[in-house]
């Protein structure tokens, strides 16, 4: 496996920019961890086993579908204060 | 037995504090002064906190509590809150540069409940960044030290909460537990830490790491304190979509000095076989012998699937983390960066590169890897299937037995730097705690004894909603140790 390529690919997918000095130690660690998690491949599991994604088996609590009014506490909701302009959150102009 | 930082007054439990305040309300001010004295003397070394509220603010809260005329079940207890739990107006950093200056506009449900029950938030505690770690060395700010031996770690990721309680820098604390993050630090600091059944305690206001595994729970110096705290923070919350609709129990009624039931206790052989330190096993075996002397039965059982818990846990936790942490883009909250005129991917990547530490980046990348095209079936889906098998094995076990016991950690608290550079050594500290989260079971760690002057934790776990039994057995272990 070409670990440098893999790390580049995965970091692009995850939108994490890695600095030069970070790549080598990361590759060393990832090799070890991937070897550890590969242990699940030793297990033969029949197709009829249902995957378990949660251990919560109650009724999922959904909020009532009610109309939401204008927010009144915009300063509290947006923690990046410098983004607030005239009561609105100013999104950055990116390319 | 407490570490040297504690004094007589600062080591009081909730019930004793409440009684003293009932007799003499001014005692609460003396207690607060005493706890702040401990903080002033020792916090510069321990570094259990990220934020400590000013004494004046805390005294003001105490005054308001006494004025209201109802000190509640917590009686003015000073509460240390892990820094991934939202506190209105108090910085909540997750020990990350990403949220270094984030001040939430709301309280987590657990914090609201504690305040309504007569608790006073004292400060926010250090932790592994975004709760990813087992030693509290992964904090972006500084590591927390173990009050029993300052050359050792307090465990993690709720290491600050556990160290603060152990050193009497707080009455009790809140932690969060995704794979052992309450129980491991409780074991390493000689405190009692409980991870509730999944859904028993609201997660509203907890910064998400791995949502199918995360739970908030209490840490205290006494089993009774943990029972009182659990009673206050548990219960249905419509703001948490996975909150159980169950009645709140009187957990204090289980904290009695004898067994309320002749428990049949299982010991899973795979949890005591490999890599468990001899000193840890000696304390564990002694605990089993003492429980048998109460007439409880102990039987060893095999559960081979449990060996796969660690890889399954890390696949699932990292996959969920990579998804949960995608929200940190520097636009709405947290670390921000000059963005005008740049590609959005460039901005996003730059912010995440600057804001996340190494362990967080490692877990995000691995999570992305196991979820990526062509690998999803072999890793994530397979892990979810093994999780199902493990869940059913536990269900079978608890048809035959009431509870199970294991050492919380296979080793004594490591020295600073001893495991942090090797991810496999670090992850293996969680080997006995992660299976519990995968199955959504309740579990606690209680000190079983001491080896070389260091506490050794015993993990007690059981079927869903068996917290009362766990507290009862933990109290037996506490009594035997005393």
Q: What is the CATH number of the domain that holds B46?
A: 3.90.1300.10
- Is B298 buried (19+), middle (13-18) or exposed (0-12) by CB count in 10 A? middle
User: In sequence order, what are the residues at sequence separation of 6 or more whose Cβ sits closer than 8 angstroms to the Cβ of residue B4?
Assistant: B147
The answer to whether the CB atoms of A59 and B245 lie below 8 A apart is yes
Nearest to B152 by CA among B424, B422, B471, B453: B453
- Residue B82 bears catalytic tag: yes
- Domain of residue B182: give its range: 14-262+443-481
**pLDDT for residue A77 is more than 70:** no
- Residue B181 bears catalytic tag: yes
pLDDT at B356: 96
- Using CB atoms, which residue from B308, B312, B369 is nearest to A10? B369
Structure tokens at B349: 């990547």
Nearest-angstrom CA–CA distance, B201 and B174: 12
Structure tokens at B290: 């003492």
Residues A1-35 pLDDT 10s: 788 999 999 999 999 999 889 999 999 999 999 99
Block residue for tokens 């709405």: B332
Q: Confidence class of residue A75 from pLDDT cuts 50, 70 and 90?
A: low
Q: What is the rounded (10 degree) CA torsion for B433, B437, B443, B445?
A: 30
Radius of gyration of chain A (CA): 23
Q: Hey, is B179 helix, strand or coil?
A: coil
Total structural domains within chain A: 1
pLDDT at B167: 98
Answer yes or no: is B97 within a domain.
yes
Please name the residue of chain B whose CA is at the shortest distance from the CA of residue A34. Answer: B366
Answer yes or no: is B338 within a domain.
no
The one catalytic residue in B20, B82, B115, B249 is B82
User: In sequence order, what are the residues at sequence separation of 6 or more whose Cβ sits closer than 8 angstroms to the Cβ of residue B468?
Assistant: B249, B251, B253, B254
Block residue for tokens 């509203």: B204
The answer to whether the CB atoms of B427 and A36 lie below 8 A apart is yes
- Using CB atoms, which residue from A17, A59, A80 is nearest to B350? A17
The answer to whether the CB atoms of B362 and A33 lie below 8 A apart is yes
Specify the DSSP class assigned to residue B201: B
A contacts of B245 (beta carbons < 8 Å): 58-59
Backbone angles phi, psi at A59, to 5 degrees: -75, 130
- The set of long-range contacts for B338-341, using a CB threshold of 8 Å and a minimum separation of 24, is B339/A92, B339/A93, B339/A94, B340/A92, B340/A93, B340/A94, B341/A93, B341/A94, B341/A95
pLDDT at B137: 98
Q: How far is B123 from chain A (nearest CA, A)?
A: 20
pTM, rounded to two decimals:
0.96
pLDDT at B375: 94
The CA-atom distances, in angstroms, between B309 and each of A29, B113, B304 are 20, 34, 10
pLDDT at A72: 66
Q: How far is B472 from chain A (nearest CA, A)?
A: 25
Indicate which of A4, A7, A9, A10 best probes the interface with B, i.e. most B CBs within 10 Å of its own CB: A10
pLDDT at B11: 97
Please, what is the Cα angle at B225 between B219 and B230, to 5 degrees? 70
pLDDT at B105: 86
Answer yes or no: is B198 within a domain.
yes
Residues B397-456 pLDDT 10s: 999 999 999 999 999 999 999 999 999 999 999 999 999 999 999 999 999 999 999 999
Q: How many CA atoms lie less than 13 Å away from B371 in the CB half-sphere?
A: 18
Nearest-angstrom CA–CA distance, B272 and B266: 12
Answer yes or no: is B7 within a domain.
no
The answer to whether the CB atoms of B242 and A60 lie below 8 A apart is yes
Nearest to B266 by CA among B385, B383, B435: B435
Beta bridge partners of B217: B175
Helix boundaries (H) for B168-296: 183-189, 223-233, 270-273, 278-293
pLDDT at A12: 94
Total structural domains within chain B: 1
Nearest-angstrom CA–CA distance, B209 and B325: 7
- Domain of residue A18: give its range: 1-95
Answer yes or no: is B366 within a domain.
no
ipTM above 0.90, yes or no: yes
What mean pLDDT, rounded, does chain A reach? 85
Residues B71-107 pLDDT 10s: 999 999 999 999 999 999 999 999 999 999 888 889 9
Q: What residue ranges of chain B have pLDDT lower than 70?
A: none
Nearest-angstrom CA–CA distance, B175 and B127: 9
- Using CB atoms, which residue from B241, B245, B361 is nearest to A16? B361
pLDDT at A82: 67
List the end-to-end C-alpha distance of chain B, in Å, as a whole number: 8
Q: Confidence class of residue A61 from pLDDT cuts 50, 70 and 90?
A: confident
In total, chain A counts a number of residues equal to 95
The one catalytic residue in B176, B181, B309, B406 is B181
């Amino acid at each position: 496996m070409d670990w440098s390529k893999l790390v580049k690919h995965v970091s692009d997918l995850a939108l994490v920019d890695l600095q030069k000095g970070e790549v080598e130690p990361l590759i060393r660690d990832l090799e070890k961890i991937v070897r550890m998690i590969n242990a699940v491949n030793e297990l033969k599991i029949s197709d009829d086993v249902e995957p378990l994604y949660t251990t919560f088996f109650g009724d999922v609590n959904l909020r009532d579908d009610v109309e939401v009014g204008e927010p009144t506490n915009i300063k509290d909701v947006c923690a990046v204060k410098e983004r607030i302009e005239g009561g609105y959150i100013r999104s950055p102009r990116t390319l | 037995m407490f570490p040297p930082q504690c004094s007589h007054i600062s080591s009081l439990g909730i019930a004793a504090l409440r009684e003293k305040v009932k007799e003499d309300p001014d005692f609460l001010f003396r207690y607060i002064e005493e706890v702040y004295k401990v903080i002033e003397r020792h916090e510069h070394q321990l570094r259990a906190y990220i934020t400590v509220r000013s004494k004046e603010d805390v005294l003001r809260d105490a005054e308001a509590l006494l004025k209201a005329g109802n000190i509640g079940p917590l009686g003015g207890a000073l509460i240390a809150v892990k820094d991934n739990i939202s506190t209105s107006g108090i910085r909540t950093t997750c020990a990350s540069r990403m949220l270094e200056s984030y001040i939430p506009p709301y309280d987590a449900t657990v914090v609201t409940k504690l305040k309504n029950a007569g608790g006073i938030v004292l400060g926010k505690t250090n932790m592994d960044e975004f709760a990813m770690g087992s030693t509290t060395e992964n904090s972006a700010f500084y590591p927390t030290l173990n009050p029993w031996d300052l050359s050792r770690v307090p465990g993690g990721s709720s290491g600050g909460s556990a160290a603060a309680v152990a050193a009497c820098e707080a009455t009790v604390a809140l932690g969060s537990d995704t794979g052992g993050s309450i129980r491991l630090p409780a074991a390493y600091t000689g405190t009692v830490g409980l991870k509730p059944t999944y859904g028993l305690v609201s997660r509203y206001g907890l910064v998400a790491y791995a949502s199918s595994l995360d739970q908030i729970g209490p840490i205290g110096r006494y089993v009774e304190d943990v029972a009182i705290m659990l009673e206050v923070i548990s219960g249905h919350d419509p703001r948490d979509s996975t909150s159980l609709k169950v009645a709140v129990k009187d957990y204090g009624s289980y904290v009695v000095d004898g067994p309320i039931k002749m428990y049949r206790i299982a010991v899973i052989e795979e949890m005591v076989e490999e890599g468990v330190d001899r000193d840890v096993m000696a304390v564990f075996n002694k605990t089993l012998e003492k429980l048998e002397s109460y007439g409880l039965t102990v039987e060893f059982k095999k559960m081979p699937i449990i060996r796969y818990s660690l890889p399954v846990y890390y696949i699932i936790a990292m996959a969920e983390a990579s998804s949960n942490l995608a929200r940190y883009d520097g636009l709405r909250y947290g670390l921000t960066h000059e963005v005008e005129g740049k590609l959005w991917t460039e901005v996003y990547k730059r912010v995440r590169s600057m804001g996340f530490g190494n362990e967080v980046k490692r877990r995000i990348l691995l999570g992305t890897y196991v979820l990526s095209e062509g690998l999803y079936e072999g890793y994530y889906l397979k892990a979810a299937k093994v999780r199902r098998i493990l869940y059913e094995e536990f269900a079978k076990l608890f048809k035959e037995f009431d509870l199970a016991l294991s050492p919380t950690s296979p080793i004594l608290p490591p020295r600073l730097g001893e495991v942090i550079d090797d991810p496999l050594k670090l992850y293996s500290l969680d080997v006995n705690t992660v299976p519990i989260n995968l199955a959504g079971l309740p579990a606690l760690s209680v000190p079983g004894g001491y080896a070389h002057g260091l506490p050794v934790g015993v993990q007690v776990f059981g079927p869903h909603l068996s917290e009362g039994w766990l507290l009862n057995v933990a109290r037996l272990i506490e009594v035997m140790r005393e």
